[in-house]
Amino acid sequence: MTFSRIFAFVAFIISCFFIDFANALEPMLVKKQQFELASFTTQNGAVIAPVRIGFESYGKLNAKRDNVILITHYFSGTSHAAGKYQATDAQAGYWDAIIGPGKAIDTNKFFVISSDTLVNLNAFDPNVITTGPASINVKTGKPWGLAFPVVTITDFVEVQKALLDSLGINKLYAVIGPSMGSFQAIEWAVRYPDQVERLVPVIGSAEVDAFTAVKLERWAYPIKQDPAWQQGDYYQSAEKPTEGLATAMAYVTQDALHPRSFNQKYPSLTKDKAAAIEITASFSAWDQLMATARQRSSLQDANHLLYLVRASQLWRAGMGDNWQHALAKVKAKTLFLPASGDLLLTADSAIASQKALQATGNNAQLVEIQGDFGHLDGLFNISTVGPVIQQFLAK
């Protein structure tokens, strides 16, 4: 081979490297799509008409339609699991670290889909499409308010099922979701065992016990005590329960963190000299937490939070009287990924769920996510178990 040809070959290899490197730096751009049902009957027999939800997808659906991974989102999350809407967006989707070309959930191999839930908390986010109490009831021409029926994790799953049916998808390579998304993932495997091949509940469990249900009630309480809530009938009022919602989100934030990370982020109480003199003086840590919560809740809806709390409080696999018995229906290969420092949905609750599933004959695996962020390690440190997820999906 002549020198010129060697030089040309080396130049070609180098150019390919830089092209690949540039592509790796470019964000995966995604767009929100909408799915609509003319009517939907909830688990408790109520009819919602119509129902609209938003969804996103990443990667390509293969000819057999058997390369589908469903991502089910967490309590305050949305369908924006990965990528960006615009290249200039400040942040990518919450699991962008593991979803994308060449990543743990490889969009070169899999068609990944994620949808907004019913009663999505971020009801006023322009990138969210959801039906809930803030939506217009076509029968009255006014927002539903508390006339909206109680909905469950099962209802979230059934709307997702209708979406997938509309796309001609009847087999899921895997269902993966964090926190409240883990509830949906497990319910998928219970209700549709022949359609779910792999199950990955992240920072979650197969039931919400009484202790956790009461903790979740703390999130609802500030809204119900806000005079502007008006028993949920505030949509046409000038005053909204913004303070109650912000306080609720402050509790959500604190409960999702571990004391190690919380204390690092918020000021030491030793700086609050006024608190030792005046009983009405506030702690700066609380003031800072509330300021963050007010900003975070600006596109959220108070009633939607109440409905999500109730759906989570009611959660148990199969939604019957015996969640352990319901797990016997699961055929999927299962991998639990709890966070070791989680004080909201503890690692112990995931271990109990794993053991209950193993008792049915399912060889469920479990790997703990390490970190200092508590429950939020399932989002912030998910990349640390990326190789575990990748290996599990390869089996």
CATH number at residue 282: 1.10.1740.110
Radius of gyration for the chain, computed over Cα atoms and rounded to the nearest angstrom: 23
3-state SS, residue 346: coil
Q: Is residue 77, in this structure, part of any structural domain at all?
A: yes
> Got the DSSP string for 183-244?
HHHHHHHHH-TTTBSEEEEES--SB--HHHHHHHHHHHHHHHH-GGGGGG--TTSS---HHH
Is the same domain home to 64 and 113? yes
Q: Is 233 a catalytic residue?
A: no
Residue 336 resides in a domain? yes
- For residue 21, being part of any structural domain is answered with no
Q: Report the first-to-last Cα separation within the chain, whole angstroms.
A: 43
The size of the chain, in residues, is 395
Q: What is the pLDDT of residue 151?
A: 98
**Residue-level pLDDT at 269:** 85
pLDDT tens, residue by residue, 178-207: 999 999 999 999 999 999 999 999 999 999
Q: What pLDDT is stored for residue 320 in this prediction? A: 94
> Does residue 18 fall inside a structural domain?
no
What does the pLDDT read at residue 61?
98
Active site residue 165: no
Inter-CA distances, 46 with 40, 42, 49, 114, 140, Å: 8, 5, 10, 25, 16
- The one catalytic residue in 76, 79, 179, 205 is 179
Are residues 102 and 235 located together in one domain of the fold? no
Residue 168 sits in which domain range? 26-207+315-394
191 lies in the same domain as 87: yes
Rounded Cα gap, residues 99 and 115, in angstroms: 15
Q: Is residue 342 annotated as a catalytic residue, yes or no?
A: yes
Q: Is residue 83 assigned to a domain?
A: yes
Whether 195 and 221 share a structural domain: no
- Are residues 126 and 93 part of one domain? yes
Residues 47 and 139 placed together within one structural domain of the fold: yes
pLDDT of residue 25: 57
* CA-to-CA dists, residue 157 to 48, 79, 105, 120, angstroms: 15, 14, 21, 14
In the prediction, which pLDDT does 7 show? Answer: 38
Residue 18 is predicted with a pLDDT of: 36
User: What is the 8-class DSSP label of residue 133?
Assistant: T
Catalytic residue among 73, 80, 258, 375: 375
Q: Which residues of the chain have pLDDT under 50?
A: 1-24
| Pair 234, 191 in one domain | no
Q: 150: domain CATH number?
A: 3.40.50.1820
Q: Are residues 251 and 196 in the same domain?
A: no
Listed residues 306, 327, 342: the one ending a domain: 306
Same domain (yes/no): 302, 331: no
Set 342, 349, 353, 377: catalytic member: 342
pLDDT of residue 395: 82
pLDDT value of residue 267 = 86
- Are 240 and 340 in the same domain? no
